[in-house]
């Protein structure tokens, strides 16, 4: 165990605390922030928001991007735009960060937790297919869950730690079952599946720019789509559903104050310029881990899946059992090299315990054995 910790210290060339991930501001961040402050447009309108939305859409290859205050709010709005309503149901994976299932709950719908694949850590097409064929039928172009008589409106796969899941297969299954695909790409900016950027496969995709993500705006998120109407609705709903008018307060539905402030967008424009360098550095780091762990028994380094290019946002290991994982957690953190266990399964959290789920065989296995190791860019 200690040889692993020493290796990480050597990689980062330090005896001081090594975080799991930390932001790096080495480009135009201060310049753009100063410009933004000098302009006095620090709040919800401003040139940096427009510029970011344009640059981001171009980067991921989607037609439209709408910036929001965080990834959770982006997912909330994306689900509303997928027509998810109270008493509907939404399929997602049990192995994810709580924001995924929280956003589903904000709409009044219930999550259904399905298993992940061992090779991607993302939603398993086989689990999705078998859940649907065992429990659902299509009536009038809607996917009805025969256990509850509710409609399954959407499916939210997540690209865990930046590793793309089998999104093309998931997309096909969703199409066959009249289910909208909304991608939680919060962790996978810079990750591609077969040369197409993650987050652009479904009708809507979302990203997060929280402080620990690959680029950050302090807090922030974005919705991407190729559908002009959906993009317009996303902007409308995130800006309190205000009807444009020079001075009147007219709002035509219940909207949200979810816009990204210009100040955050200024920081983010500078971060986006750095993304290419961050990605190169992360791949380089992952390659070093990969080589090192080839020679370590009973620990597997998680590599990018087939047909995919991962951003390696968070490097992860699979231990042979829970006790060796937990042992490493203690030793590394005691030695100021930060490590963290993967999330507790969403289906086991107090507020989601009663939700529908499948066997979650792989998810349970992984949640006891997976751990993240330092993954910040070194530069
Ligand atoms: C970070 C993250 C989000 C969004 O989080 P915010 O903190 O609200 O930006 C959503 N889903 C997953 C899987 C995430 O990791």
Return the CATH architecture of domain 2-23+275-348+355-373: Alpha-Beta Complex (3.90)
Q: What angle do CA 70, 165, 188 make, to 5 degrees?
A: 35
Atom number of ligand 1 nearest to Cα 187: 15
Nearest-CA residue for atom 6 of ligand 1: 71
Nearest-CA residue for atom 5 of ligand 1: 71
| Ligand 1 pocket, CB under 6 A | 70-72, 96-97, 99-100, 158, 184, 186-187, 208, 210, 221
Q: What angle do CA 56, 120, 362 make, to 5 degrees?
A: 135
Per-residue pLDDT reduced to its tens digit, 231-258: 999 999 999 999 999 999 999 999 999 9
Q: What angle do CA 14, 16, 19 make, to 5 degrees?
A: 95
Q: Is the pLDDT of residue 111 over 90?
A: yes
Residue 378 has a CB neighbour count (10 Å cut-off) of 14
Task: Give 230 Cα–ligand 1 centroid separation in angstroms.
Answer: 21
Task: Give 97 Cα–ligand 1 centroid separation in angstroms.
Answer: 7
User: Which of 21, 162, 208 has most ligand 1 atoms within 8 Å of CB, for mutation?
Assistant: 208
Q: Which of 222, 168, 212 is CA-nearest to residue 193?
A: 168
Catalytic residue of the set 153, 171, 180, 213: 213
- pLDDT-derived band at 369, boundaries 50, 70, 90: very high
261-285 mean pLDDT: 98
- Token representation of residue 39: 């302009």
DSSP-assigned letters across all residues of 132-145:
HHHHEEEETTEEEE
Task: Give 228 Cα–ligand 1 centroid separation in angstroms.
Answer: 25
Annotated catalytic residue 213:
yes
List Cβ neighbours of 170 (8 Å cut-off, separation of 6 or more).
123, 125, 128, 155, 157, 181, 201
- pLDDT-derived band at 45, boundaries 50, 70, 90: confident
Residue 133 has a CB neighbour count (10 Å cut-off) of 11
Task: Give 68 Cα–ligand 1 centroid separation in angstroms.
Answer: 12
Per-residue pLDDT reduced to its tens digit, 163-221: 999 999 999 999 999 999 999 999 999 999 999 999 999 999 999 999 999 999 999 99
Q: Is the pLDDT of residue 130 over 80?
A: yes
328-346 mean pLDDT: 97
Atom number of ligand 1 nearest to Cα 210: 9
Return the CATH architecture of domain 29-273: 3-Layer(aba) Sandwich (3.40)
- What is the DSSP code (8-state) at residue 291? H
Q: Is the pLDDT of residue 153 over 80?
A: yes
Evaluate whether 342 touches 328 at the Cβ level (below 8 Å): no
Distance of CA 227 to CAs 154, 215, 224, 236, Å? 17, 25, 9, 14
Q: Which of 311, 351, 284, 52 is CA-nearest to residue 161?
A: 311
- pLDDT-derived band at 140, boundaries 50, 70, 90: very high
Q: Which of 184, 151, 152 is CA-nearest to residue 167?
A: 184
Any idea where the domains of the chain sit in the sequence?
Answer: 2-23+275-348+355-373, 29-273
Q: Give the pLDDT confidence score for residue 1 in this predicted structure.
A: 86
Q: Give the pLDDT confidence score for residue 139 in this predicted structure.
A: 98
Q: Give the pLDDT confidence score for residue 286 in this predicted structure.
A: 98
Nearest-CA residue for atom 2 of ligand 1: 186
* pTM summary value: 0.97
Evaluate whether 58 touches 51 at the Cβ level (below 8 Å): no
Q: Give the pLDDT confidence score for residue 378 in this predicted structure.
A: 84
d(CA 203, CA 228): 11
DSSP-assigned letters across all residues of 202-241:
SSEEEEE--TTSSS--SS-EEEEES-HHHHHHHHHHHBTT
Evaluate whether 314 touches 162 at the Cβ level (below 8 Å): yes
Count the alpha carbons within 13 Å of 41 in the hemisphere toward its beta carbon.
15
d(CA 162, CA 135): 31
């Amino acid at each position: 165990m200690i040889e692993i910790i020493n290796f990480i210290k050597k990689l980062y060339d330090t005896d001081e605390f090594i975080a799991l991930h930390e932001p790096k501001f080495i480009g135009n961040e201060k310049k753009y922030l100063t410009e933004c402050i000098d302009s006095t447009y620090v709040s919800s309108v401003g040139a940096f928001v427009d510029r970011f939305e344009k640059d981001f859409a171009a980067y991921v290859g989607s037609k439209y991007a709408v910036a929001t205050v965080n990834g959770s709010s982006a997912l909330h709005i994306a689900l509303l735009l997928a027509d998810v309503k109270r008493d509907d149901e939404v399929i997602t994976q049990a192995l994810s960060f709580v924001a995924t299932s929280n956003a589903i709950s904000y709409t009044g719908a219930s999550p259904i937790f399905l298993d992940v694949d061992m090779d991607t850590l993302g939603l398993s097409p086989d689990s999705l297919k078998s859940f649907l064929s065992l429990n659902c039928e299509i009536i009038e172009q809607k996917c009805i869950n025969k256990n509850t008589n509710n409609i399954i409106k959407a499916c939210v796969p997540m690209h865990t730690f930046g590793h793309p899941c089998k999104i093309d297969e998931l997309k096909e299954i969703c199409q066959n079952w009249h289910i909208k695909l909304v991608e939680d790409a919060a962790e996978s900016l810079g990750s591609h599946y077969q040369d197409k950027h993650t987050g652009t496969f479904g009708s809507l995709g979302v990203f997060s720019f929280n402080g620990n993500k690959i680029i950050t705006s302090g807090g922030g998120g974005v919705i991407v789509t190729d559908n002009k109407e959906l993009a317009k609705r996303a902007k409308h709903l995130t800006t309190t559903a205000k009807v444009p008018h020079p001075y009147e307060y007219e709002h035509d539905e219940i909207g949200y104050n979810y816009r990204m402030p210009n100040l955050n967008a200024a920081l983010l424009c500078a971060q986006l310029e750095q993304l290419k360098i961050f990605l190169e550095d992360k791949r380089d780091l992952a390659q070093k881990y990969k080589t090192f762990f080839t020679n370590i028994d009973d620990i597997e380094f998680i590599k990018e899946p087939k047909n995919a290019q991962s951003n390696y946002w968070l490097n992860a290991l699979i231990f042979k059992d829970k006790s060796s994982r937990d042992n490493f957690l203690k030793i590394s953190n005691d030695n100021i090299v930060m490590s963290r266990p993967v999330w507790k399964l969403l289906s086991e959290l107090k507020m989601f315990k009663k939700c529908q789920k499948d066997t979650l065989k792989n998810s349970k296995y992984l949640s006891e054995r997976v751990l993240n190791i330092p993954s910040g860019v070194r530069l």
